[in-house]
Amino acid sequence: MNKYLLILGQSSALARQELAAVLSSSNGQIELTGTNFAVISANQTPQELINILGGTIKVGQYIQTIKNLSDLNTSLWYDILKNNLKPTSKNCFGFSLYNDSNNNYQNIKKVAFQLKKILREKKYKSRLVTGQEAVLSSVIVAKNKLLDHELLIIKNHEEYLLGITRTVQDFVSYGFRDMARPYRDNRSGMLPPKVARMLVNLAGYDTNKSLLDPFCGSGTILQEAMLLGYKKIYGSDISSQAVEETKQNLDWLSKNFALKADLKIKVIDVKNIDQNFETNSIDLIVSEPFMGDARFISQQRSSHNLLTIQKDLQNLYQTAFEKFQKILSPAGQIIFIFPVFNIAGQDIYTLDKKNISRLGFDYQLKEDIIYSREDQKVKRQITVWKFK
Ligand X SMILES: C[S@@+](CC[C@H](N)C(=O)[O-])C[C@H]1O[C@@H](n2cnc3c(N)ncnc32)[C@H](O)[C@@H]1O
Binding footprint of ligand X on the chain (CB under 6 A): 185, 191, 214-215, 217-221, 237-239, 242, 269-270, 288-291
Task: Compute the half-sphere exposure of residue 239: CA atoms within 13 Å on the CB side of its CA.
Answer: 12
Given the complex with ligand X, which of 135 and 196 has the nearer CB atom?
A: 196
Given the complex with ligand X, which of 117 and 311 has the nearer CB atom?
A: 311
Shortest CB 45 distance to ligand X, Å: 30
Residue 341 in 3-state DSSP? strand
Q: Which residue is nearest to ligand X (CB)?
A: 217
Distance CA 5, CA 231 (A): 31
Count H helices, E strands: the chain?
12, 17
Q: Using an 8 Å Cβ cutoff, are 127 and 90 in contact? A: yes
**Cα 270–271–274 angle (5° rounding)?**
85
Shortest CB 326 distance to ligand X, Å: 16
Helix (H) or strand (E) holding 245: helix 240-257
Given the complex with ligand X, which of 164 and 225 has the nearer CB atom?
A: 225
Shortest CB 272 distance to ligand X, Å: 9
Given the complex with ligand X, which of 80 and 212 has the nearer CB atom?
A: 212
Distance CA 362, CA 292 (A): 25
Shortest CB 210 distance to ligand X, Å: 18
Residue 290 in 3-state DSSP? coil
Given the complex with ligand X, which of 43 and 275 has the nearer CB atom?
A: 275
Distance CA 368, CA 11 (A): 12
Strands 159-168, 150-156: pairing is: antiparallel
Strands 262-267, 282-287: pairing is: unpaired
Given the complex with ligand X, which of 135 and 243 has the nearer CB atom?
A: 243
Shortest CB 215 distance to ligand X, Å: 4
Q: Report the phi/psi class of residue 354: left, alpha or beta, with left for phi > 0 and alpha for psi in -120 to 50.
A: alpha
Shortest CB 262 distance to ligand X, Å: 20
Given the complex with ligand X, which of 209 and 323 has the nearer CB atom?
A: 323
